[in-house]
Structure 1
Amino acid sequence: MTGKGKITWSKGAKYEGDFSGGYLHGFGTYTTPNMSFYSGEWRMNVRHGIGRKQYSNFDTYEGEWKEGVHEGPGRYCWNGGNEYIGKWKGGKMCGSGVMKWVNGDRFEGLWSNGLIHGSGIYRFADGGYYIGTWSSGLKDGKGTFYPAGSKHPTLKKCSRPLGYDDGKNFLSHGSSLNLEEGKAPTPSVKRSLSKNILNGGIFKNTGLCDPPRDFICHESSGMSSHTSVGQHEVQDNNTLVYEREYMQGVLIKERIRKSAELTSNTKQRKKFNVKKATRSSCLDIFKGNRSFYLMLNLQLGIRYTVGKITPVPMREVRHSDFDDRARIRMYFPRKGSKYTPPHYSIDFHWKDYCPMVFRNLREMFKLDAAEYMMSMCDADGLRELASPGKSGSIFYLSHDDRFVIKTLNKPELKV
C-alpha cells in the first residue's frame, strides 16, 4: 500500500494521508475516538518530523518529533493555560526554554531531563526577578532577588517567572498508532505546517528561532520549585535587593543590600580605564566574524563551568586544586550530549583550569556568580577590542564593561 489513502480501525481510530510500503509514512492526520489528534510527518508508523498533536485532555504540542517523542524545538500548551516554548529531548524539556504560567510568572533559562537545571531568570507577575542557578528543579547556589520596582541588570530578552503543576507536564509517548495517546491538530493543519514552523511559525514572536544569541543568554531544563519569594519578600521595593545562597532548595544564607550600593559597586568596577575601551574602540561580534564562534564557545564554557562549580560547598583552596586533575575537560557537540546542552556554535572541546581556585577568587572579590554569568553571557554577546595585543592575543569586553577576556598563546600557557 503506497500513496495517499485512508484507513479506519475497528475501535474508531482513523488515519488519512501518505502511505509507503504499508506503513504510515509521509504526511497525514491520525484521529482517535477520545478526541485526540496528530497531524504532521510520519516515518514507518511513528511520528517523526514536524507535527502538531492535541491530547485527549486538550493539551497541545507543536514542533519537532523524533521516533514518536518530542525532540528539538517545540511549544507545549497545557489546558490550564501554562505554556513552554523551547528545546526538547527524549520527550522532556531539555536545553534553553521559556516557561510561562497562567498567573503571569515566567522562567527563562536552561532545562535538563524535564527540570530547571543551570542558570536562569525567574520573573514574578508583580515584576520581581530572581537571577540564579538551579539543580534538578531546586534553587542551588547563589542568586539575587530583585523586588518589583528595584533596579536590576539589563534583561533585554528575559522574562517573568513561577512554579507550575507537576502532574501534567510529562505525558508518555508511544507508537503513533497507540489509540489512547493519539492527538491531532485541528483539521486546518496542512502539509505547509513544517514549512511554516521552519520559517519561524510557532517561534516567530518568541525569539527562540533566532540564531545563537538567544541561546547564549540562557541555559537549563525542567520544573521550577515554587517558593514564597514572590509577593512575600517585597518589603522595600525601591531600595532593597536580596543576595541569597541555596543548597538543594534550602535557603542557607541571605544578605540584604540597597540597590544604590550595588550600583555604586558596579561603577567602582568600571574604573579599570573604561575610557580606553569606549564603544568606538570596540567591534561588535556578529555571525561571520572571525571571532564569532570563539565568543560563543567561551560563553557556553563559562556557563557550564560556573554553573557546575557554584553549587559546590565553599571551602579553602587546597594544593590539589592546582594540579592537572583539577582541570575540567568537556566536549560540546552541536547537538548536545548527556552532560551538555545543544547549541548553535560548532563542535568544540572545553578545558577549564583550576575551577575551584577561580571560584574562591570570585568570592574574595565579591563577584556574584549569577551576575558574572549575566555579564559575560548576556544575549548581546561580547565586544572585541579593535587593536589586538602584540602577541596576537584577542581581547573581549563584556557589554556592561565589567570584564575583559584575553586569549593566551601556548608559551604564555606554559608560564
Structure 2
Amino acid sequence: MENSADTTYDEDIIREEHLPNGDFYVGKFHGPVPHGFGKYTWSDGAIYEGEWDLSRITGKSQIVWQSGAVYEGEVVGGFLEGSGILKGVDGSIYDGSWHMSKYDGMGLKTYPNSDVYEGNWKEGLQEGVGKYTWSNGTTYVGNWKRGKMSGKGVMQWKNGDLYNGYWHNGLMHGIGYYRYNDGIVYVGTWSKGLKDGQGILYPAGSKIPCDPLFSELFGYTNSCPSVNFKGLCPEKFIFLILTLVRLCRRSPRISNGNVSVIEGGCALSQEGCNTASSSSGSKRDTENERDMVYEREYMQGILIMERPRYWDELKAMSVKNRKKNLWRRQVKGPGETIYKGHKSYFLMLNLQLGIRYTVGKITPVPLREVRSSDFGPRARIRMYFPHEGTQYTPPHHSINFFWKDYCPMVFRNLREMFKIDAADYMMSICGGDSLKELSSPGKSGSIFYLSQDERFVIKTLKKTEVKVLLKMLPKYYVHVGAYENTLITKFFGLHRITLKSGRKVRFVVMGNMFRTELRIHRRYDLKGSTQGRFTKKENIKETTTLKDLDLTYVFYVEKSWREALFRQISLDCMFLESQSIIDYSMLLGIHFRAPEHLRSRLDQDTEPLESENPAACNSGDSVNPDEIFRQKGFLLVAHEPGSVSSAPGSHIRGSMVRASEAGDEEVDLVLPGTGSRLRVQLGVNMPAQACLKDQDITAGSNEDDTYKVYDVVLYLGIIDILQEYNVKKKIEHCVKSLKYDPLSISAVEQSLYARRFMSFLEKVFPEQ
C-alpha cells in the first residue's frame, strides 16, 4: 500500500523531492517530472520559483541567484524570454524584452552610476534607436550599433552644447552640426571625434541657409527657410530636433509653434525661432558683422584655414551646389552608387556577370606557373551572354553582350601573388552591392568605378592602352614577382564588353591604394613636369587631386626608409623606361595628424576635452612601454602578427619597413586616441613630417613656425603606366617645344622622363 502511494501522482498535490546532488524541489508534478507551479533550490543557494512545463522552466517566474541578482518575468525553455525585470547585485535594473537570456527588443536599463538607457537592444547590446542619459545630465538620442553610438543622432552636453549628425563607434564621424551654448553653430564634417575637413562657422544670431546637409540629416527634400538658433533654450532645441527626426518622413502636415512637419519633408518655422532678446531699441549691432560667416577647414581638429564669407553669398553657393554637396559625398564615401536607371547600370551588370563567370571558371584549375602561351593571342576567354541564358551562362536582367577576358591564368596568378582570395574578389566586385562611379581626375576621359568595400578600382581603357598592357604584361609579371615592394599599380584583371550595337568597352581592375581607415586629406598627382601642372584655386575641393605646382610641402621620413623608397622607385622607373613608358606619376595621399605641441592650442570652438565628452573613447591599446619607439610625433611598436587593427588592402604586399630606433625591427604604427595599430610598409601607412617648402624642420626657434609642421601618414604608388613614347607623343613633344621649355613639358623621351621624375621626388622627400 505504501509502495502504491509512492508511485501514484496527482497534479493537484504539492510534493517535495530531494535530489542526490543536493538540489531541492517543492511543487506540482506530472508523472515523475515537475509540471505546474513549483520552487527549485539549487545546492549553491540559487532559487527558481514559477511555472514548469514537463521539467522545463517556462512561464511567469522569479529567479534569485547566489550573488543576490533577482529576475522577475517570463521564462521559456529554460531561457529568459519575453518581458522581465532584472535587478543586478551592482544596483543596475533592466526592465524590458529578453531573448535567449539576453536583452533583446525594447528595454530600459538603469546603471549603477545612475546612467539610463531606453531603447532597442540586440543580443545584450544597444542596437537601433535609443536614448542614453548620463548621470550628469548629458543626453544622446539616436542610432546605436553593437553598444555604441553609430548612425544619425543628437547629443546635448551638460553645458548646453549640442551636436546633431553622424556617429561611428561612439564618436562624431561624418557630417553634422555643433551648436555651442553661446549660440555659435558649426556645420561640417568630423572624423573619429575631431573636426576634419571643410565646414562653416555661423556666429551667434546668424541665419543658416537651407543646405542639402540638413536634408541628409533629417531625411527631407523640400526647401526650408533660414533658422536663428540663439532664441531657443537647450531643452526646446533638442525637443525640436527629436520631433523632426521622428515625424518628418511620413507624417501629415502639423503646425505647432516652431515646428512645421510636411508630408515627405519638414521645415523649421522662421517666425518661432527669432531671437527673443531682440528689441526695437537694439536692432542689429553691426549689419555686416551679423551677415558674416566663416568658411573653415580642419585637419584632425586643427584649424588650418579660415575665410570670411557674406551670408548672402554663402546662401547663393548653397543653392547652386545643392546637387553637388561635398558633405553628402564625404559621409557616404567617395563616388556615386550606380542605381537602376543610372547611365552605367547595365554596363555594371555586364561587368559583374563576366567577372563572376571567368573567375569562377579559372579558380578550380590547379595553380601552376604561367607559360609563354598564357600571354599569347590565344590566351582569351570569350563568351556570349544573352539575357535568357545559355547552357554555360545564367539568365540575367541586363542587355545582351559579348565578354572577353584577357590572359586569365596570368591575372589569376597575380591575384594569388597579391594574396587576393578568389571568393573575396568576386564578392567585392560582383556581390549584392552596386559599384560606385568616380569622376575622372585626369584628362584621359576614363571612367573609374569603385567596389563597395573600396578594395578595387575599375578603370575604362582605350584600345591603345590595352595593347600596351598586353605587350608589357610578361615583363610586368616578372617585375612584380621579383620586387614584392614595388610601387607600380597592381593589376588584377583585364576585360572587354562588346554590346549588340558594336560598342566596345575595355576595363582593367586595379588595387585601391587609398583603401585605409584613415582619412586622406590631400591627394597629389606628381609627374615632375611643370607646364600646366597646377589647379585653379576656384576648382580646388577637399577631394580634388592636385598637381606638381600645387604642392607646398616637403616630407621628411626616416633615413633608412627614404633609402629603401628611392631604391624601389629607381627599380620601378628602370622597368618603365625599358618598356618606353612615359606620363606615369606618383599618386601621393596624405593623412594629417595634429602634432602634440599643437593639440594644447586648439581654439575654443573645438570639441570638449575627452574627459568631458561621454562620446569619446580611449584607444584601448595595451602596449608594452619597453617596445615603444618614437618616430618624430608618432609611436612605433614592435610588430606582432595578428595585432594590426585592420586587414591589409589590395595594394599591400611585401615585407614591412624596419625602424632604426627599434633595433632594425619591423614595426607597427600606433595612433593614440584612435585604437588603430597599422602595418607600416613601403608606401603604405608611412609616418613622416610635412613642412612648408624652404622651412628647416629643425628650426623651431620661431613659435609661429611650429604651425607649419605636421605629422602625416603617407600613401604612395606609381600610376598611369600605359602610355608609350610613340609617334604621337614625339609629335606632341616637337610642337610644345616650340612654345615652352622642352624640359618642362610632360611628353619627353622615356630616359629623360625617368631622370626628371626621380629628381623631382628627391626634392619632395629631401634628406634630413
Amino acid at match of 1:49: G
Deviations 1:311-366 (A, max 9, x none): xxxxx94347x534x334539xxxxxxxxxxxxxxxxxxxxxxxx99xx9997368
Distance 1:54 1:96 in 2: 23
Amino acid at match of 2:88: T
Deviations 1:130-164 (A, max 9, x none): 11111111111110000002232147979979xxx
Residue 102 of structure 2 corresponds to residue 46 of structure 1: yes
**Equivalent residue, structure 2, for 1:117:** 173
Distance 1:5 1:299 in 2: 59
Residue 126 of structure 1, CA deviation: 1.6
Distance 2:316 2:123 in 1: 54
8 Å contact 2:80–2:99 — kept in the other structure?
A: yes
SS of equivalent to 2:114: coil
Residue 375 of structure 2 corresponds to residue 323 of structure 1: no
4+ long deviations beyond 4 Å: 155-161, 202-205, 211-217, 263-267, 298-302, 360-363, 365-369
Aligned-residue Cα RMSD (Å) equals: 4.3
**Equivalent residue, structure 2, for 1:72:** 128
Residue 57 of structure 1, CA deviation: 0.3
1:66/1:304 CA distance change after superposition, 3 Å = farther
Distance 1:145 1:302 in 2: 15
SS of equivalent to 2:328: helix
Distance 2:92 2:241 in 1: 26
Residue 159 of structure 2 corresponds to residue 103 of structure 1: yes
1:41/1:208 CA distance change after superposition, 3 Å = same
Distance 1:50 1:97 in 2: 18
**Equivalent residue, structure 2, for 1:58:** 114
Residue 306 of structure 2 corresponds to residue 258 of structure 1: no
8 Å contact 2:189–2:327 — kept in the other structure?
A: no
Residue 247 of structure 1, CA deviation: 1.5
8 Å contact 1:107–1:159 — kept in the other structure?
A: no
8 Å contact 1:105–1:160 — kept in the other structure?
A: no
**Equivalent residue, structure 1, for 2:32:** none
Distance 2:105 2:139 in 1: 21
8 Å contact 1:216–1:300 — kept in the other structure?
A: no
**Equivalent residue, structure 2, for 1:128:** 184
Instruction: Determine which of 231, 239, 245 is the counterpart of 1:208.
Output: 245
SS of equivalent to 1:126: coil
Distance 1:261 1:18 in 2: 62
Distance 2:58 2:249 in 1: 41
Amino acid at match of 1:119: I
**Equivalent residue, structure 2, for 1:25:** 81
Distance 2:328 2:200 in 1: 17
| Structure 1, unaligned runs of 5 or more | 162-201, 218-234, 271-297, 311-315, 332-355, 370-415
1:216/1:94 CA distance change after superposition, 3 Å = farther
Distance 2:181 2:159 in 1: 7
**Equivalent residue, structure 2, for 1:83:** 139
Distance 2:295 2:326 in 1: 25
**Equivalent residue, structure 2, for 1:3:** 59
Distance 2:76 2:326 in 1: 45
8 Å contact 1:138–1:249 — kept in the other structure?
A: yes
User: Where in structure 2 are the equivalents of 1:9-408 lying within 5 Å?
Assistant: 9-154=65-210, 206-210=243-247, 212=249, 238-262=290-314, 303-304=328-329, 308=333, 317-319=441-443, 322-324=445-447, 326-330=448-452, 364=538
Larger radius of gyration: 2
1:58/1:261 CA distance change after superposition, 3 Å = same
1:85/1:361 CA distance change after superposition, 3 Å = farther
Distance 2:158 2:289 in 1: 24
8 Å contact 2:205–2:229 — kept in the other structure?
A: no
SS of equivalent to 2:158: coil
1:365/1:319 CA distance change after superposition, 3 Å = closer
Distance 1:95 1:205 in 2: 15
Distance 1:82 1:10 in 2: 35
1:71/1:300 CA distance change after superposition, 3 Å = farther
1:102/1:69 CA distance change after superposition, 3 Å = same
8 Å contact 1:107–1:160 — kept in the other structure?
A: no
Distance 1:128 1:104 in 2: 12
Residue 309 of structure 1, CA deviation: 5.1
SS of equivalent to 1:206: helix
SS of equivalent to 1:127: coil
**Equivalent residue, structure 1, for 2:721:** none
1:16/1:150 CA distance change after superposition, 3 Å = same
Amino acid at match of 2:301: G
1:361/1:58 CA distance change after superposition, 3 Å = farther
1:68/1:254 CA distance change after superposition, 3 Å = same
Q: How many residues align?
A: 252
Distance 1:128 1:38 in 2: 38
| Structure 2, unaligned runs of 5 or more | 1-56, 219-226, 231-238, 251-260, 267-285, 336-439, 454-521, 524-533, 544-768
1:301/1:24 CA distance change after superposition, 3 Å = farther
SS of equivalent to 2:246: coil
8 Å contact 2:207–2:228 — kept in the other structure?
A: no
Deviations 1:282-318 (A, max 9, x none): xxxxxxxxxxxxxxxx9999824576459xxxxx943
Distance 1:131 1:204 in 2: 15
SS of equivalent to 1:208: helix
SS of equivalent to 2:172: strand
Residue 100 of structure 1, CA deviation: 0.8
Distance 2:101 2:228 in 1: 39
Distance 2:333 2:192 in 1: 12
**Equivalent residue, structure 2, for 1:294:** none
SS of equivalent to 1:2: strand
Amino acid at match of 2:205: G
8 Å contact 1:241–1:258 — kept in the other structure?
A: yes
